[in-house]
Structure 1
């Protein structure tokens, strides 16, 4: 009996140490993600040309929203790990914000695909359609649409539970707000509608740009093919975001089978389906975009890259001058 107790204690200690290491790894990944996003947000804000271009404005929105979402989800992860209870009302606000922010990015991805479609397939109308007024309207539409589902969830929860429950404390989790089965089914149906529309938008824009790429001249093929690759990456992002909303239901089924497997799956879900899609946005519009990358590199190296390049170019000019005059004449 004592041996069994000692073995269980060893397993618990090993499991806690492993989970602590995983939590620390998440903090490192979130810190790197927030640093890269902060650098890109700073780059966006420093250049007026980026602030007046629709695709960069949409890109900046994903940076802001994803950074805020990453902070909230990391706090929720730490709170669940340490079993830290909070009142139900702040938990409802917390869950509302996380649900809202998790929908803003997929909707913005669909808007980015539409912007690339207009730029490539309707270049003459691009300036009128992407005007500042239409840009503000588009952002407002994205924010309003993304608030419909979390508002429905929170209002339904508050109306279904007794008022005294809102004064109690709970370890906050959005799954706890689905107090009845129909609320869970309605949530899934609305999510399916959201992502079906966004998937149709991405397929439509991809097919339209693909046709434009086939009919484009040799000068325009490079930009159209780049637009195709961008939309493919957006589709992959959307697929990962969609999997993020399916995973909680898989987690509940795994929890009934094995608790250890449930913990490992939830950790993998957080890394693959929450952090990874948010890391693709800086890759797609931050590092692949030549104009943005040049400015980003300048601020990332505190302007030293310009000094180094100027020194290299001056040394290259001197070397060429010596090559022309000959080593004996120099």
Structure 2
């Protein structure tokens, strides 16, 4: 009777491992394809001077960079969860913080891109004076700082409440 239970348990565990590998492969292969495409586009956007000197391409590079980092981090977190690997609290916090940061950068960059196009359509004569490379860089830094402050606030609150609950348990 106990041999039947052991063999049945081993079959279930083996099947679970096979399912994990298959599901991880189904998501990892397309992710690697998209990471290759994004890497090629990032390289292309930095290889030509016209792309480095035009505000819309600078904003596109920022958006594509944030999305590529988000895709890579999401895939890493998925693989870690599928494998069942437990991370330490600080490492998990850093990975989650970076994932949240890149998640918040993308919509804000899209807003800045929309404003740039709005200025180009509604104020075509003033577009070259309003939308400069310097103003675009300031907008990108503003997006990163605003997103970082939001994530930093969440981390500080998480640490404060974590230590308060930790002290209560002692």
The TM-score normalised by the length of structure 2 is: 0.85
Name the SS of the counterpart of 1:104 in structure 2: helix
Partner of 1:120: 121
Aligned residues of 2:52 and 2:58 also touching (Cα < 8 A): yes
Partner of 1:255: none
Any gaps of 5 or more consecutive residues in structure 1? Answer: 166-330
Please list, as runs of the form range in 1=range in 2, the aligned pairs for 1:1-330 lying within 5 A after superposition. Answer: 10=11, 12-162=13-163
Distance 2:73 2:4 in 1: 42
Distance 2:17 2:84 in 1: 14
Q: CA deviation at 1:96?
A: 1.3
Name the SS of the counterpart of 2:84 in structure 1: coil
Q: CA deviation at 1:52?
A: 1.0
Distance 1:8 1:113 in 2: 56
Q: Which has the larger radius of gyration?
A: 1
Q: CA deviation at 1:69?
A: 1.8
Residues 14 and 83 from structure 1, CA distance in 2 versus in 1: closer, same or farther, beyond 3 angstroms? closer
Aligned residues of 2:45 and 2:51 also touching (Cα < 8 A): yes
Question: Which is worse superposed, 8-17 or 77-86?
Answer: 8-17
Name the SS of the counterpart of 2:96 in structure 1: helix
How many residues are paired up?
A: 165
Q: Deviations over 1:243-275 (max 9, x none)?
A: xxxxxxxxxxxxxxxxxxxxxxxxxxxxxxxxx
The TM-score normalised by the length of structure 1 is: 0.46
Any gaps of 5 or more consecutive residues in structure 2? Answer: none
Q: Deviations over 1:132-155 (max 9, x none)?
A: 221111111111121132112110
Name the SS of the counterpart of 2:85 in structure 1: coil
Q: CA deviation at 1:86?
A: 2.7
Residues 111 and 68 from structure 1, CA distance in 2 versus in 1: closer, same or farther, beyond 3 angstroms? same
RMSD of aligned C-alpha atoms?
Answer: 2.4
Distance 1:120 1:71 in 2: 35
Distance 1:123 1:18 in 2: 56
Q: CA deviation at 1:55?
A: 0.9
Q: Deviations over 1:53-104 (max 9, x none)?
A: 1111111111211222222222211211222223222222222111101111
Q: CA deviation at 1:107?
A: 0.9
Residues 119 and 152 from structure 1, CA distance in 2 versus in 1: closer, same or farther, beyond 3 angstroms? same
Q: CA deviation at 1:4?
A: 7.6
Name the SS of the counterpart of 1:161 in structure 2: helix
Q: CA deviation at 1:17?
A: 2.1
Q: Deviations over 1:144-179 (max 9, x none)?
A: 12113211211011111239x7xxxxxxxxxxxxxx
